Amino acid sequence: MKQHPRGGTAIVIGGTGGIGAAMMEALEQSGAFTEVISFSRSSEPAIDLLDEQSIARAANWVKTRDSDLRLVFDATGFLHGTGFGPEKSLAAITPEHMLHGFAVNAVGPALLMKHFLPLLPRHGRSVFATLSAKVGSIGDNALGGWYSYRASKAALNQLVHTAAIELARQKPDAICVALHPGTVDTGLSSDFAKAGLTVRQPGEAAAQLSDVLERLTPAQTGGFYDYRGNSLPW
């Protein structure tokens, strides 16, 4: 991550998940940061995306660190579980599933931006990146289905773009983006990887995402990019 000022703090939210843990390892091995911190529901302090107070407590704890916050990488997301799965038709939609998907995939990251973007330094390059998904692209949607996941990730993309506009007014060197990691061998996607689809290991995905983060410029803030750094349609 050569474009980051040397030193400073990097944070991975969802650092115990497949991509999050691999990103923790990649950031630690890079030597670019004074410290790399993992937050999850089991960390201390803990972050639960469904509990804004936990996010606020974690952000306040970060304020006490004796280094600038240079990177926040949000590796959280919800596709299936707790009795819910991707809907293949309108008939499968339930308000409970949709509300939970939006709570984790859109509202949670919005709260992370609310509490962590103000901690980014006023001067010098810094990055907030959150994992979105290509299926959240409206322009790329040719198959349909997966209503809650698609819609919540589309909402996340809008939230990132809007937050980036506000962020740039006070911190012109800061970057706020949504990233599509591709299909990665994790619990989130393992049940839905189709035959013939390229499935990458978390370590490979983390290396590619790290490379994208390294190459992003402030002119790209508010964008939606894949793991190769290519811009994706909204």
DSSP letter string, 71-92: EEEE----SSBTTB---SSGGG
Total domains in the chain come to: 1
What's the pLDDT at 200?
83
Is 232 a domain residue?
A: no
Return the H-helix or E-strand segment holding 12: strand 9-13
Burial of 197: CB neighbours in 10 Å, binned 0-12, 13-18, 19+:
exposed
Of all residues in the chain, the percent with pLDDT exceeding 90 is: 82
Banded pLDDT at 113 (limits 50, 70, 90) = very high
Integer Cα distance of 178 and 125 in angstroms: 17
Look at residue 198 in the predicted model and tell me its pLDDT: 72
Which pLDDT band holds residue 2 (cuts at 50, 70, 90)? very low
Give the per-residue pLDDT at 1: 42
Say if 234 falls within a structural domain: no
190 pLDDT higher than 70: no
* Confidence at residue 217, expressed as pLDDT on a 0 to 100 scale: 96
For residue 222, pLDDT beyond 90: yes
pLDDT of residue 160: 98
Residue 231, strand partner residues: 225
pLDDT at 7 over 90: no
Q: Which domain holds residue 198?
A: 9-226
With a cut of 80, say whether residue 35 has pLDDT above it: yes
What's the confidence (pLDDT) of residue 229? Answer: 96
> Of residues 44 and 187, which shows the higher confidence score?
44
**DSSP 8-state code for residue 191:** G
Rounded CA separation 134/124 (Å):
30
Taking the model in full, what pTM does it have?
0.91
**Domain assignment of residue 18, yes or no:** yes
For residues 49 and 26, give the distance between their C-alpha atoms in angstroms, rounded to a whole number. 24
Considering the domain boundaries, does residue 208 fall inside one? yes
* 130 close to 181: Cβ distance less than 8 angstroms: no
Residue 2 inside a domain? The answer is: no
> Which DSSP letter does residue 105 get?
I
pLDDT digits (tens, 9 = 90+) for 158-171: 999 999 999 999 99
For residue 99, the one-letter residue type is L
What pLDDT, in 10s, does the model give residues 51-74?
999 999 999 999 999 899 999 999
| Residues contacting residue 109 through CB under 8 Å, at least 6 positions apart | 49, 74, 76, 130, 156, 159, 160
CATH number at residue 73: 3.40.50.720
Q: How confident is the model at residue 202 (pLDDT cuts 50, 70, 90)?
A: confident
In-domain check, residue 4: no
71 domain residue, yes or no: yes
> Do residues 10 and 70 touch, judged by C-beta distance below 8 A?
yes
Q: What is the pLDDT of residue 187?
A: 57
Q: Is pLDDT of 92 > 70?
A: yes
- 75 versus 188: which is more confidently predicted? 75
DSSP state of 103: I
If phi > 0 it is left, if psi is from -120 to 50 it is alpha, else beta; for residue 30 that is alpha
Section 198-225 average pLDDT: 93
pLDDT of residue 81: 83
Q: Quote the pLDDT of residue 112.
A: 98
Mean pLDDT of 194-204: 73
Average pLDDT, the chain: 92
Report if residue 233 sits inside a domain. Answer: no
- Give the angle subtended at the CA of 127 by the CAs of 44 and 180, to the nearest 5°: 90
